[in-house]
Structure 1
């Protein structure tokens, strides 16, 4: 049966029953309770209206039929005529105003390739304003303590100098917390050094010895890089790092290790021996180490040797690459 024919048949019946229900409310038949008579006729009228309104609703919203009919019957029973009609109008408006959504397809992508030479370009938050507030001794103690706690997650190499200055701060809590942070960072590295030294005594293959000597060199240099070593400890850490790097390089597989050449060059710069650093940096480049990562140390070595024109040219080359934010002031100074 078509919708138009069904509407023509049900509409008069629904109107007749609804009219009878209203009539019985004001003129109840003799011998029958007025409320019971009205509710019975209203239930029949609501059923007829539910059939009518379901035919008027958009096709997509007519199913499931039982739920739709029950919903329309309840609306028509409790709100005669208007309830079901409003539901139909809302359904039609919703269907007209519905926005078609494009189907979102998914696809499988491959695992991204790790590019090692981009690791150095990852920058951490400098926390400059927090450190400035911490260094201000006129600020409230609570604010300075909060600032000190906030910089705990920053790399020690960026906060080491400030933490050492706080060791002479007049506020006891700041001194103790700064000492604890420095001591914790140093102990973590020292414990790893002890573990590697113990493993080195048990190493039986050349590959294991190479890996452990290299790791020991990096850990000792980390004490210098994070500014945790001072005075005699500083020179001892550099000497130990160089010793392990040389021993690793003396092994068969270590001869062509570009990272070891770079580490030895940085150790030479730390000992203010730029003339030794330059050949090591050139050797690292010959061993296929990315040149853009060597540029800062090549420029530093050239500057320390008094070759300022060459240093400026290297910094100009560095400016064409995406350098770290820490190098931006240097690049701006040499290229302006």
Structure 2
């Protein structure tokens, strides 16, 4: 029988004992009648409460049952009610106090650098720089990120690799140096080959084409940050010289005029750079390719009114996500 059945029988029996106490007129007989019925009621209630006690706390069985029976029998009415209340509280309170299996917690700050499941194919160009600069990230993961970076366009990867030349980890420094050195050697080999072809050619059209290639190769050295200091000045000078050579035969090449302007701007020859940009625009180069450099040139000249005017013309252009912060700044200036 379950605890509920034992409890119900104990309650009914106890009510019978109370009725006998009230109906019998003689006090001694009434007490004897009450105790005679109250005893089995106490036993039934003791059994009901015992079934609710956890197994680890119900041993020894006879002693626990004797204690429950004594509390109920020798404290009439109050003992009966008290044990029922105690049993109910013992049964219900643990449920009330038990921790919830599922609770709402604040999401932790996500640190993708701590993930150990990334593969080299899983790194995106936008987050590689932050990952490689994170000293908490495991070195093997940073090495894999650097290998992934080697497949990125040079204009993105080379500046990041140059920053890593001062990293605290020897392996990262050596790998960064090796990747940069490999890129520089590849460009220098192409430059050497183009210079030989330029020296061997006497045709103006061919020389212009080869000079254009040479200028582009030198510009790659500059653009990728592979040359610094005196080597940078040398590369700019060579790129400008070959660009001007190429312009002798390719006077109507707008991209070549744009490159000419960027090299002149690098040398702070602003008036000549402005003329080169305007010529590129006249030859049909899209405004989206030229206006940003004109705005940069105006800023270098401290002509801020012209900067704002030029950038205002770019507000409705699409595909300028990287320039949006600049456009917003000057839009509120």
Alignment TM class, shorter chain as reference: 0.5 to 0.7
Pairwise CA distance, 1:261: 1.4
Q: Where does 1:102-181 land on structure 2 (aligned, <5 Å)?
A: 127-181=125-179
2:64 equivalent in structure 1: none
The Cα offsets for residues 104-156 of structure 1, whole Å up to 9 and x where unpaired, read as: xxxxxxxxxxxxxxxxxxxxx96232221110123221221122122112222
Q: Where does 1:34-49 land on structure 2 (aligned, <5 Å)?
A: none
RMSD: 1.8
- TM-score of the two chains, using structure 2 as the length reference: 0.60
4+ aligned runs moved over 4 Å, structure 1: none
1:217 equivalent in structure 2: 215
Larger RCO (CA within 8 A; separation ≥ 6): 1
Residues in 2 aligned to 1:229 and 1:292: alpha-carbon distance in whole angstroms:
28
1:302 equivalent in structure 2: 298
**Are residues 224 and 312 of structure 1, via their aligned partners in 2, closer, same or farther at CA, if it must alter by over 3 Å?**
same
1:193 equivalent in structure 2: 191
Q: Where does 1:252-331 land on structure 2 (aligned, <5 Å)?
A: 253-331=249-327
Q: Is the counterpart of residue 233 in structure 1 residue 223 in structure 2?
A: no
Residues in 1 aligned to 2:204 and 2:125: alpha-carbon distance in whole angstroms:
43
**Are residues 184 and 150 of structure 1, via their aligned partners in 2, closer, same or farther at CA, if it must alter by over 3 Å?**
same
Secondary structure of the 2:166 match is coil
List runs of 5+ in structure 1 lacking aligned partners. Answer: 1-124
Residues in 2 aligned to 1:273 and 1:205: alpha-carbon distance in whole angstroms:
31
Do the aligned partners of 1:156 and 1:227 also contact (CA within 8 Å) in 2?
A: no
- TM-score of the two chains, using structure 1 as the length reference: 0.59
Secondary structure of the 1:153 match is coil
The Cα offsets for residues 135-186 of structure 1, whole Å up to 9 and x where unpaired, read as: 0123221221122122112222223232122112221211111011111111
The number of residues matched between the two structures is 210
Do the aligned partners of 1:135 and 1:162 also contact (CA within 8 Å) in 2?
A: no
Residues in 1 aligned to 2:129 and 2:182: alpha-carbon distance in whole angstroms:
20
Residues in 2 aligned to 1:127 and 1:280: alpha-carbon distance in whole angstroms:
33
Residues in 2 aligned to 1:207 and 1:276: alpha-carbon distance in whole angstroms:
25
The Cα offsets for residues 222-278 of structure 1, whole Å up to 9 and x where unpaired, read as: 1111111111111100000000111122x2x32333222111110122223333211
**Are residues 159 and 213 of structure 1, via their aligned partners in 2, closer, same or farther at CA, if it must alter by over 3 Å?**
same
Residues in 2 aligned to 1:126 and 1:292: alpha-carbon distance in whole angstroms:
26
Residues in 2 aligned to 1:126 and 1:314: alpha-carbon distance in whole angstroms:
33
**Are residues 192 and 161 of structure 1, via their aligned partners in 2, closer, same or farther at CA, if it must alter by over 3 Å?**
same
